[in-house]
Chain A
């Protein structure tokens, strides 16, 4: 059972100072010329006001867009191989939304599926999440259709809810990582009864368990062709997605030395799953779009017992051609098999 506290605005200021003194960097949503971006902050005043979400997700804190895995130098009759060590700085993610906080579990499912990924784990162990419950939503949001909620505690080490009089926050301390943060300035956390909080209203859009049960029978449905005709095959959806985990290994090398890099990949790209033979099992955009939906709503539940989507709506907001995921899933849930 989580402990409930009140943190005043002044106390939050002191908490930020204490976290910095403890050697942690603080990343939070910041207003950069109207774009909400995750950036380093020093104090609560640096955090954006009234933001809905960041454009890119917080996954880059544990799964950066480019990660060096190893490097090597070639010498006559010798290869000097060097493992890379991840730069896992102690980090606090402040103010990300409950949908994104819950997304780390979907990354964990893949990066610790069999082999434990040293890079992801080093970063994740050094990361604490102070989530911020939502008081607003938009047409792209659908957390409540995929098991989330605007005030869900899933994935947060501490969850904050703004107090109605804007004097501070109600804080639920949820995990050991959260308690370690609390222990930096225990006097800033005042014990209190849960106070009333009005979360954003996000109405359920479709029956997800029914959709997941139905997907295997929809594999050859024309629906995927119809939905993907306007898709231009870029990677915007996958790259803003907090759970998209596909990567590509790139080698940057010359005759004497080289580096092996792990880079974000996207099922939108025409070269996604292109084999060395030249064969591509998903040569059409409709097949790649179907893969995106199935990976998140069919294969993830089968393999990991969870969804690969948190309903944050980032993909919908980022899409240049308005591929609205909530709408597409609703249509899939309602189509005649």
Chain B
């Protein structure tokens, strides 16, 4: 991406934005998030196949927001998350420049409408490997699935990397951290872990942009993203809506429609 750095420098120098949320070289040839506030800091920006992390969580991070208007390098997952954040009124339409790959340079999308049009052309995000794992889980009996998650969640240490890496987990004070009253046990014991992950999956049903960032962030390798993928897929099947495709808020779990299926009432 030959023109990336010069485009980024121009955005900063012209004052169009005050900060660029992108990627730079990380440990062992990986890519890491990089927050550039000056042309000098933009010199090390990269945008390639190694840039797998969803950066949208930085759009709502107070320490980054305070710099002013932002531009963000966005592959499909980041773009979907940015659009969902607009739908949920966490970022204003037009307040962020979304930089998407366009050959040797980046194209600048500066409205929700442009983002919707761009995303309409992007393929589905879930990898073949995750799809296969999801199918395997769905084919299990309840008892097998329960045993699977019991075993996986036993490794959880409640570091909250899954929550904090998720662009849709932007609450300033998470219910998990409340202790007056305490809704969910804070300790990382069996009940505490199970309740936390169940609540997280439910909270993301219909809001998950399927980036898999939570699973990637987990230091002990729990595939927590499969929970939110499944919850998202259930909402898609039941209600026909999908997170991160439109800036119009149409959240299935808090919107009543006369023709909603009511198959859960038995």
Contact = CB atoms under 8 A, between A and B. Distances in A.
Contacts of B219: 55-56, 236, 239-240, 318, 320
Contacts of B189: 66
Interface in B221-259: 221
Contacts of B159: 234-236, 238-239, 266
Interface string A218-261: 00000001001110111110111000000010101000000001
B39 to A, nearest CB: 16
A264 interface: yes
B130 to A, nearest CB: 16
10 contacts: A34-B221, A35-B221, A66-B189, A140-B27, A232-B164, A234-B165, A236-B217, A239-B219, A252-B187, A324-B27
Interface residues of A, number: 43
Contacts of B30: 322
A320 B157 contact: no
Contacts of B35: 229-230
A321 B53 contact: yes
B105 interface: no
B37 to A, nearest CB: 9
A56 B34 contact: no
A199 B219 CA distance: 28
Contacts of B179: 250
Interface in B201-228: 213, 216-217, 219-221
B134 interface: no
B80 interface: no
Interface string B133-150: 000000000000000000
A179 interface: no
Best-buried of A56, A250, A286, A322 by chain B (most CB within 10 Å): A322
Interface string A323-336: 01001000000000
B95 to A, nearest CB: 19
Contacts of B61: 232
Interface of B: 26-28, 30, 32-35, 53, 57-58, 61-64, 155, 157-161, 163-165, 177, 179, 185-189, 192, 213, 216-217, 219-221
Contact of A284 (B32, B63, B155): B63
A55 B221 CA distance: 10
Contacts of A35: 220-221
Given A35-B220, A55-B220, A316-B27, A263 B187 contact: yes
Best-buried of A33, A34, A55, A230 by chain B (most CB within 10 Å): A230
A320 B188 contact: no
Interface of A: 33-35, 37, 55-56, 65-66, 138-140, 225, 228-230, 232-236, 238-240, 248, 250, 252, 261, 263-264, 266, 269-271, 284-286, 316, 318, 320-322, 324, 327
A221 B26 CA distance: 23
A264 B157 contact: yes
A234 B163 contact: yes
Given A232-B165, A250-B186, A252-B187, A320 B160 contact: no
A320 B177 contact: no
Best-buried of B28, B53, B57, B163 by chain A (most CB within 10 Å): B28
Contacts of B64: 229
B164 A234 contact: yes
Contacts of A236: 159, 161, 217, 219
A248 B186 CA distance: 10
A303 to B, nearest CB: 26
B188 A321 contact: no
A261 B63 contact: no
B187 A234 contact: no
Given A269-B160, A284-B63, A320-B161, A230 B33 contact: yes
B31 to A, nearest CB: 8
A271 B158 CA distance: 14
